[in-house]
Amino acid sequence: MKFAEELKKSFFTALWFILLTFPILVVQVNTIENVVVWRWHHIILIGLGSFLLSFCGQLFLKKKGRLTPFAPAVATPLHRLINEPRLYRPALLAIALFALIFPFVFSHYQINIMTTALIYIMLGLGLNIEVGLAGLLDLGYVAFYAVGAYSYALLNYHFGLGFWTALPVGALLAAFFGILIGFPVLRLRGDYLAIVTLAFAEIIRLVLENWNAFSFGPSGISNIPRPGFFGINLTPEQSAIYLYFLLIILCILTIFVIHRLQHSRIGRAWVALREDELACQAMGIDRTKAKLTAFALGATWAGMAGVLFAAKTTFINPASFTFLESAMILSIVVLGGMGSIVGVIIAALALILLPEYLRVFSDYRMIIFGAALIIMMIFRPQGILADVRKRYEFSKSKSGRGN
């Protein structure tokens, strides 16, 4: 009977996928000859593929036991690799060597893609402070990203300030806005907090789009200078390499600072706040200080990333800071694993690089990409590399005393 139910569920899943993908994969409009091409064979491929995936997934979940997002994370071989010096040190050395030779081996296009991925690593690690550690669901994180980008663009346009001056200024302004939004939402959690932060991001975007005298409206700001290198004039290729190495250094700094914060007193306060806010307050932890610190520090890294984004593209406008960007950054944190630094890095590289390298599949690349995310969330809801808590085990010796 259960086998028949699983077949029935898989059948309806396949039917649902056929209905969802029908306009994209079956109907093709030829605008040159003004005809509609019906690719009916795609229905068979979609139906069989989704049916088999659904059926195999149900068997797997039945065998392993259905996982939930709140299931405790267990140590995986990747966790053991990270915690074993004899294994992770050679891996780190190989990654460092690859990062050093990357811009000299690959094309200018590949360097730009990797630079974008490094910016999203900074954004993901910054949001990981708010969502992964403190448990504050922020759907308006892109607002701090926009504050950093427009800080550099406007300061350079009006006052002629360079990149190195604007970088700390953008970070400080973003931190100020983080505290500004933190005060009104001190009593909010969950969905209510998400709605308020989303509204805050939309307010920022609409202000930037409609206040022409301040932000130049939808036209945006162009001719933003790239980072300078002791006054030397760099070609576009040299500037891309220089920005790449600059982002490598800033990402290492970000990882170091966030790792230290995570294992500090304030980091433990964030985790306590995430797990149980009432118990956290009962233990004497200042919720106001913990929340405002999480918002301010998370926004700081978004502001720095915004300055780097403006320097990379040399042009910004409000269309670059929509809700889709916040959703992408949040996906990086959730897919990587809440509170996991290494997981966020892996997820950022996967979410930014895979859509680019899947361009060979043309119309199907985003469908493949979306299907991969769905499968990942079904079979690994804790993320690629969930944060595993340290456990202390006591064993009895032969004398009967605990060790």
| Any domain includes 36 | yes
- The first and second tokens of residue 42, run together, are 């795609």
pTM of the complete model: 0.80
| Any domain includes 392 | no
90 shares a domain with 51: no
403: pLDDT strictly greater than 70: no
Q: Where in the sequence is the domain holding 345, given as residue range(s)?
A: 83-363
Among 35, 64, 93, give the residue marking a domain's end: 64
Cβ atoms of residues 344 and 124 within 8 Å: yes
* pLDDT for residue 211: 87
| Any domain includes 386 | no
The percent of residues in the chain predicted with pLDDT above 90, rounded, is: 26
| Any domain includes 393 | no
Angle at which helices 236-262 and 85-105 cross, to 10°: 160
250 shares a domain with 140: yes
Residues 225-241 have pLDDT tens digits of 888 777 777 787 888 89
The residue among 184 and 75 whose pLDDT is bigger is: 184
* pLDDT for residue 82: 58
> pLDDT category, 350, cuts 50, 70, 90?
confident
Cα 395 off chain centre by: 41
| Any domain includes 225 | yes
Q: Environment class of residue 255 by beta-carbon count within 10 Å: exposed (0-12), middle (13-18) or buried (19+)? A: middle
> pLDDT category, 393, cuts 50, 70, 90?
low
81: pLDDT strictly greater than 70: no
Rg (CA), the chain: 24
6: pLDDT strictly greater than 90: no
30 shares a domain with 142: no
Residues 252-311 have pLDDT tens digits of 999 999 989 888 888 888 888 888 888 887 888 888 888 899 999 999 999 999 999 999
Residue pointed to by tokens 């009432």: 278
Other C-beta atoms lying within 10 Å of the C-beta of residue 81: 13
* pLDDT for residue 70: 40
12 shares a domain with 106: no
307 shares a domain with 196: yes
Cβ atoms of residues 82 and 88 within 8 Å: yes
What's the whole-number average pLDDT of the chain? 81
What CATH number corresponds to the domain at position 197? 1.10.3470
Q: Environment class of residue 279 by beta-carbon count within 10 Å: exposed (0-12), middle (13-18) or buried (19+)? A: exposed
> pLDDT category, 390, cuts 50, 70, 90?
low
118 shares a domain with 51: no
| Any domain includes 78 | no
Separation CA 259–CA 341 (nearest Å) = 8
- The first and second tokens of residue 335, run together, are 């897919």
71: pLDDT strictly greater than 70: no
| Any domain includes 77 | no
Residues 154-171 have pLDDT tens digits of 999 988 888 899 999 999
Return the DSSP state at 139: S
54 shares a domain with 127: no
| Any domain includes 72 | no
191 shares a domain with 292: yes
Region of 232 (left: φ > 0; alpha: ψ -120 to 50; beta: rest) is beta
The residue among 48 and 148 whose pLDDT is bigger is: 148
154 shares a domain with 25: no
103 shares a domain with 21: no
162 shares a domain with 16: no
Task: Render 30-60 in DSSP notation, one character per residue.
Answer: ETTTTEEEE-THHHHHHHHHHHHHHHHHHHH
**Cα→Cα distances 58→7, 49, 53, 66, Å:** 10, 14, 9, 9
Q: What are phi and psi of 398, to 5 degrees?
A: -65, -30
The residue among 88 and 394 whose pLDDT is bigger is: 88
Q: What is the mean pLDDT of residues 36-65?
A: 74
Residues 307-348 have pLDDT tens digits of 999 999 989 999 889 888 888 898 888 888 888 888 899 889
The percent of residues in the chain predicted with pLDDT above 70, rounded, is: 85
31 shares a domain with 164: no
Residues 107-152 have pLDDT tens digits of 888 999 999 999 999 999 999 998 888 888 888 899 999 999 999 9
**Cα→Cα distances 312→10, 111, 206, 341, Å:** 46, 11, 24, 24
Q: Which residues, in sequence order, are CB contacts of 336 under 8 Å at separation 6+?
A: 124, 128, 342, 343, 344, 345, 346, 347, 348, 383, 384, 385
**Domain count within the chain:** 2
